[in-house]
Structure 1
């Protein structure tokens, strides 16, 4: 630091230097998230071409050397000379910020690339980038090193590099098949920029490819992961959906349907004033007319969760924006009007619908397409174009209103069911609010309303308390002796609870075991669940270490996932880890024997091998615990319940989602996927694991 501060202290970053100096400004971060953002920028350029009707296949290849390649069959990047810069179109796209064909020049009616920095930013943050273009019967190629064009001596990013000195050259490397056009881009992310643990996520890539295939019907996206090793381990997945966003909504929905998947579509026009660059170099405000196309797929199910996905020119807007606000406003206006018209039949009274009542059980995919949309920042997470809100609202009002006034039998029955569901959600919300206002947390002396089989704890400090949900009365007896009654409560359940995956809310609440769990936790269920009212700081599922125990744990997880999800999101649901084996190591003389617990067959065999090498003996037979009731109180306390020595597995949100997905497959209403799963998985079955 110096007191002197003059113009020579100022630094001007030219060209791509600014990107390398402040990469977070352009890609958000330099970890795996930023690495994936770079890949999206390249893929989205190919998708924009497919959106315009050019090309129907995009390939993404994750190579063994850490590079990634994107191939398409679109028009190909222009190879002729751009008159202002005197550079080829390829070099302009990859070296000049804010340069591209998506600034209203007529090349794209609607696109996701808006700022002209995508490809050039990826180039600036790559140790090496190679691009090949097929156009006019020729294959053109160009290479870059950290954004600078030149020639590499070899195929590796570390090969000797010679930058162009006087003028750059777009090389002709071969002949392309007649009529073939397209672009192939391969790049190596710069290790000087990205963190060491940054890596491409195959799961995230497949999720994004699936989403894009839904949004652009007829487009096939192929992903090849060659990073594993030899050719036999190459992982390839292909995504293509001709049904578009209707299929997307059906894919996202998990609950039984009340309505079919409805499509609402329409157009609207608006004018906006934008600065237009004149030949003189001045920016002149000009009023232009825009057309916005709206396409929505939505359906209501029996559940209470809301799943909304919104997109602008196939770019996801996870934080919404004016299009999503217009969609929700249109739903509110239309359905409120329908409920008022049918108020006597639905027995509404003077109560008013809330937005959450209408969105409960809704699965919707909202897409809008318009030229030059206004986003907040390069990451494009929020749409800001004001006029889109009213256009979307008008489309929803018109199309959804037509569905309610339809004379078709299916439409009439489905809209009637929808209104009944919305009104029942409203009544449930009002009832829950009334109950919440009058409810007070019961202390130990006021717990007469709680189930009699609950063995409650004495402390009223929620942060310190633990509720163990145990399997069966036999385990309960042992657990009562093993627990610390000051802060550990016990609730036994009788065998396998109701499969709430395909049961109605009424059936769930009518089931004694499910109702007891909800009542004991004391925070309600579904949308009315209030985490602040939960009576225990931890909920621990303690079941036997066998197949039935795993089944019961899955049933319980499904109950928590569907009706008490905030507990899981807050990390307050755990699974106890009881041991499988008890090994008594015999010591010579009068020295007491050592007791070692193991938690898997692999761990047991490793322990026995280690003891054998050390020349130690153990008692035979080794005790194998098939149930919690086989332990005495001291053993259960030491291994499973005592905070000093136990192990707990925290149930994370992704664990619960996986459990619900598997349970829907194995125990849901759809038989065909279950049959297919059994047939496919039969070849992987280890027959020796069957206990028969």
Structure 2
């Protein structure tokens, strides 16, 4: 081992000893007994945010959604048609349904009843591929158990097989409360609780009518977990109940609030499904009727499946994804799209929404291409915002075991859903837009006209904005008087040429296309900004004029969207001085306008080095050939000589842009149809930073060493002497 010595690595003996002692003490004080293993529902109480997002009102509402969604899943499977949600005066929430009821028999692996498994074991339930649910909202098997863990008390009653079963929990632990039957507020989390010592029991507390099944869950949110000001939002609850009644046609949801002086009850029932939902959500007058796009698709997914031996085995499973979308366009401009997976809202979208929008854009672009002459579309392309204006849509998919991002289920992650939704939308929407039925044909025509109008309005607004921006820049800033601006207001189509010298500027003015090409001359070599301070850079007339003309600021405040030109082209002479000026300009862009470089908007013009004039016999005009390197010139001369061509001597070697006339400069360097541009990129910023610092930085010694060490590699023939 090599020991490094020197002032920077010396440590006083006392400090070294103290550091070693502290380190060894720290190691000894940290052992395995410091590690904690949270078992069962302890983890939920320790980190509730992982499961419900937060412990404020949002988390409190999420707990209620978990219990309600379990009841809705029964109705979704066709096993129930009524859900009652009651907000009790004592602060508890009760949710009851007439589904099949939670299983009450013994689960063989744990030896516990189905009720206790559902409410005490994380990732346990009937939604992991056991065949009980083909499509459900609760998928992670943590909903009921998480609510139980975060409740000071939770009571479950199940009607099955002519009996009523009951079990109670305190903060996730099963046991019994010393409730007094018939007393006011008989059930309370403050009553004395006795946990089960040996084995838990599922009590039979009554008889159920023949054929009656269902589940009742009542829970008290734990004040040790939730904030004091966290309360149930009745408006949000009603909105969720209404939404669910639309998504599950035929389901009745009753919301009863008993917390006030008088009970308030709302009943939600809709048979029209998501078509009725769209009509309810739409804020404007219709352009089209509500269109229903329905279809299915299959995909194969590899999932771990628990075998008979208790091992998780990767298994290929064929899934079916049902797509049901209702949408209509209105006269307004607001877009309102809601998405759901198995009736669970996905407010942040996911693969199903991505597939919907992808197909929407594809279908309309195709239809506008077909009807471009009739609709006077031109060369403009419709974008997503044009299509979403005035659109109200409800996008729903149903599939077994969808992959959500997180327990809060706000984003669908199952990748195969995207292509299935896109295919259904493309097929069904194309059928609607190309229908020959009189009513559909008229609505399709009105819709296409609306989309084209939105597109033209967007383009017009953008052009107006660019005009104002350019106008404001010209009126409010002291732009250099030598700037020759262009007329176009389309930023992306405009080009700014930074030209070396006044002589080249004179030729460039005649060579440019004044519609979209602007010119800014600079005099000589600008300041080396790699060595100069920011204040000195801003004081420099050439640097300041470039920043002002581009109009996007500099440094940290640089705003790429505010740039006044779509391309910035550095046009310097093809000699050593031109290369030096180009390097200085690139240093300015790299240091103070880097986003412009990263966006690929900075270019270097490539003017020719030579002009070869081929003399043609008779009155035929001589042919001019331009070459851009010595090697290219020699190869071209050899080819011409081999053909017996007569070449005018001497061959012209361009030292500067000013030696060309306007036609030659336009043809070789400025005309987009013939010119050659070199895009400036910065693929590796760290390497670029090192190179700029080496060549242009304040420290002279590394640069001198680089020049000396590289001198032998120099091709002296390339020096313009």
User: TM-score band (shorter)?
Assistant: 0.5 to 0.7
Give 2:427's aligned residue.
Answer: 398
Give 2:89's aligned residue.
Answer: 64
Give 1:284's aligned residue.
Answer: 313
Counterpart Cα distance in 2 of 1:199 and 1:224: 15
- How does 1:62-461 map onto structure 2 within 5 Å? 62-154=87-179, 155-229=187-261, 233-440=262-469
Q: How much does 1:377 deviate?
A: 0.4
Q: Which runs of 4+ in 1 moved over 3 A?
A: 440-443
Q: How much does 1:2 deviate?
A: 4.9
Q: Deviations over 1:604-647 (max 9, x none)?
A: xxxxxxxxxxxxxxxxxxxxxxxxxxxxxxxxxxxxxxxxxxxx
Counterpart Cα distance in 1 of 2:400 and 2:163: 32
Counterpart Cα distance in 1 of 2:283 and 2:364: 23
Q: How much does 1:282 deviate?
A: 2.4
| Superposition TM-score, scaled by structure 1 size | 0.63
Give 2:42's aligned residue.
Answer: 17
Counterpart Cα distance in 1 of 2:252 and 2:88: 20
Q: How much does 1:286 deviate?
A: 1.1
Counterpart Cα distance in 2 of 1:243 and 1:2: 68
Counterpart Cα distance in 2 of 1:127 and 1:348: 64
Q: Deviations over 1:163-192 (max 9, x none)?
A: 110111100001001100000000100000
Q: Secondary structure, in 3 states, of the residue corresponding to 1:416? A: helix
Q: Secondary structure, in 3 states, of the residue corresponding to 1:331? A: helix
- How does 1:507-518 map onto structure 2 within 5 Å? none
Q: Secondary structure, in 3 states, of the residue corresponding to 2:318? A: strand
Q: Deviations over 1:110-129 (max 9, x none)?
A: 00111100000000000010
| Superposition TM-score, scaled by structure 2 size | 0.61
Give 1:38's aligned residue.
Answer: 63
Counterpart Cα distance in 2 of 1:220 and 1:35: 24
Counterpart Cα distance in 1 of 2:381 and 2:59: 45
Q: How much does 1:200 deviate?
A: 0.5
Q: How much does 1:440 deviate?
A: 4.4
Q: Deviations over 1:649-690 (max 9, x none)?
A: xxxxxxxxxxxxxxxxxxxxxxxxxxxxxxxxxxxxxxxxxx
Give the count of matched residue pairs.
Answer: 445
Q: Secondary structure, in 3 states, of the residue corresponding to 1:268? A: strand
Counterpart Cα distance in 1 of 2:304 and 2:278: 38
Counterpart Cα distance in 1 of 2:455 and 2:360: 15
Give 2:513's aligned residue.
Answer: none
Unaligned 5+ segments in structure 2 are: 1-24, 180-186, 477-560, 563-721
Q: How much does 1:279 deviate?
A: 2.3
Note the aligned Cα RMSD (angstroms): 1.7
Q: Deviations over 1:181-228 (max 9, x none)?
A: 000000100000101001000011001111111100000110000001
Q: Deviations over 1:235-263 (max 9, x none)?
A: 10011110000011111111110000000
Q: How much does 1:307 deviate?
A: 0.4
Counterpart Cα distance in 1 of 2:370 and 2:114: 60
Counterpart Cα distance in 1 of 2:65 and 2:435: 42
Q: Secondary structure, in 3 states, of the residue corresponding to 2:276? A: helix
Give 2:710's aligned residue.
Answer: none
Counterpart Cα distance in 1 of 2:282 and 2:191: 50
